[in-house]
A and B are shown apart, each in its own frame.
Chain A
Amino acid sequence: MSESGEYRYLPARMAERLRGIEIGVRRPMDGSNQGLHRSPAFGSSVEFAEYREYMPGDPISQIDWPVYARSDRYVIRRFHEDVSIRCYVLLDISGSMGYKGSGAMSKIEYGSYLAAAMLYVMIQQSDTSSLITFDSQIRSHHEPTGTFTRLKPMLLDLDNLTLGKAGDIEAVLHNAAELIKGRALVMIISDFLQDPEKIIRGINHLYHDGKDVTLFHLMDPTELNMPISGLVEVVSMEQEGKLIVDFGRIKESYLKQLRLYLDQLRTGCQRIRADYIFADTGMDVYDAILQRRKIG
């Protein structure tokens, strides 16, 4: 692998297109104070976030003097833009992610492109990134990093992914809430093939821990449209076993159940203020990313 080596999931062309992208959060974050490192272009909205006890090394200019006058306490005012965002990208590597129907690529490949892009963008805007892969539990976990050098092992990991077995998203989200300390940005890239109520429970846990959560829901066009016909023995990629299915007869109710499930998941996310972005694998990865970028 050469120094300026191309990584499969972050081709140079993609990196070019990502340079203009900025990702924001709606909730206050716990991170190191990197206000001085931010370029003037960032931080244009000076939203007040909180007061924090003054610590040696903090910029004196941020001390709130009226507070000192009232209470003899040195506190600094923290703005959303001052605090670096710790971004954790959770990538689903369970069996079902290996599926490729009529989409341009398998869900895991699509997810890897998406993950690589997100990790890159966050570092590029002076925040930190961490890659976590999971199926029924967390399988790999990188320490958050703000440098492109430490991004490389994560990109390498994506290149060398092996599919896991059955998934359990809820359990993993609960684990992640314990594992990730404090308020951070959590992006979950998955096909979310589980009972929506369970998924929402897991996301709720993250939300109550102060995390800002984004879902990238990936599906293949074949899963969405069900163009398959005939009598077929269906073998589950999530280790649910086999089932003989008459696709001609089942299409209508399959599609109905699918819509119900998608609606349930989407509205559940709205309720708990998690960003929900749906992407089918026929879509350009860049377009999915655009849906998450900061507006304004």
Chain B
Amino acid sequence: MIFASPIFLYFLPAAGLPVLFHLFLKQKKRQLLFPTLMFFHKTDPKLNSRRKIHQLLLLLMRVLLIAFILLALSRPKFQSSVQMG
């Protein structure tokens, strides 16, 4: 595979940015003292794990989005004897 504008490939590490943001954002979460978790546990056995899966999928989508955009911009060409102008 040959890339017409390979310079964009150098930006591929940027696809890792969403992951960094995800980790960073965790530290800024608002904390709240509350008497008990009793009523949250009862309502939320699956909600928490479902939320985590959503978060991971979202993260994956963002990473792939950036990666694909960059790949598209770098205009990959498959083996061809004729070069387009």
Using a CB–CB cutoff of 8 Å, the interface residues on chain A facing chain B are 95-97, 99, 107, 191, 193-194, 220, 223, 228, 230-238, 240-241, 243-246, 249-250, 253-254, 256-258, 261
Contact = CB atoms under 8 A, between A and B. Distances in A.
Contacts of A236: 34-37
B47 to A, nearest CB: 7
Contact of A257 (B32, B33, B34, B43): B43
Contacts of B40: 234, 243, 245, 250, 254
Given A231-B29, A243-B48, A246-B51, A223 B43 contact: no
A166 to B, nearest CB: 10
A232 B29 contact: yes
A233 B35 contact: no
Contacts of A95: 35
A256 B34 CA distance: 18
A261 B41 CA distance: 13
Interface residues of B, number: 19
Given A244-B29, A250-B44, A250-B47, A99 B39 contact: no
A254 B39 contact: yes
Nearest to A236: B37
Contacts of A238: 35-37
Nearest to A191: B35
Contacts of B34: 99, 223, 234-237
Contact of B37 (A97, A99, A228, A241): A241
A193 B35 contact: yes
B29 A234 contact: no
Contact of B39 (A228, A230, A235, A257): A257
Given A236-B35, A244-B51, A245-B44, 9 more contacts: A96-B36, A97-B35, A193-B36, A194-B38, A234-B34, A240-B38, A243-B41, A250-B47, A261-B39
A254 B43 CA distance: 6
B12 to A, nearest CB: 31
Contacts of A232: 29-32
Interface in B6-23: none
Contacts of A256: 43
A2 B29 CA distance: 49
A246 B36 CA distance: 16
A97 B30 CA distance: 22
Contacts of A244: 29, 48, 51
A234 B43 CA distance: 15
Contacts of A230: 30
B15 to A, nearest CB: 25
Contacts of A261: 38-39
B26 to A, nearest CB: 9
A237 B30 contact: no
Nearest to A226: B39
